[in-house]
Amino acid sequence: MLVALIGLVIGITVGIFSGIVFPPGFSAYVAMGILACMDSLLGGIYANMREDFRWKVFATGFVTNAVLAIVLIWLGNQLSIDLSIAAIVVYGSRMFNNISNIRHLLLNKNEEKTSGDAQM
């Protein structure tokens, strides 16, 4: 968990100070790719907390989610349909679901510790 957090901080720092600027035409693609990757990261954190984390599942899900989100935006642009809304709804709801599950796990762990301390 600590390694993932350190990697996230390093990645954000490098991204901010790298000076790379995406053209405005790519902003929807980049935003949707980031949203899909955040969904995968939260799913990985949740799986890790349940002690059910598998690298192959995480890596393939991470790449597949990002590619699928970008292809959806591209296809929507080709058809002149705003498919980004569909991707935002799907990935956003999955992120909220993962955050809710993580919160429940953390609360249950704290309750177990509290009840264990009270019994001693």
Averaged pLDDT of the chain = 87
Per-residue pLDDT tens for 26-52?
888 888 888 988 899 899 999 999 999
Rounded Cα gap, residues 69 and 82, in angstroms = 12
Rounded Cα gap, residues 91 and 70, in angstroms = 12
Q: At what angle do helices 55-79 and 27-49 cross, to 10 degrees?
A: 150
Exposure string of 56-65, with b = 16+ CB inside 10 Å and e = fewer, is: eebeebbeeb
Would you say 106 and 112 are in contact if contact means Cβ atoms under 8 Å apart?
Answer: no
Give the tokens for residue 25: 């035409």
Rounded Cα gap, residues 37 and 33, in angstroms = 6
Q: Rounded to the nearest 5 degrees, what angle is found at the Cα of 32, between the Cα atoms of 28 and 37?
A: 150
- What pLDDT sits at residue 117? 61
pTM of the model: 0.75
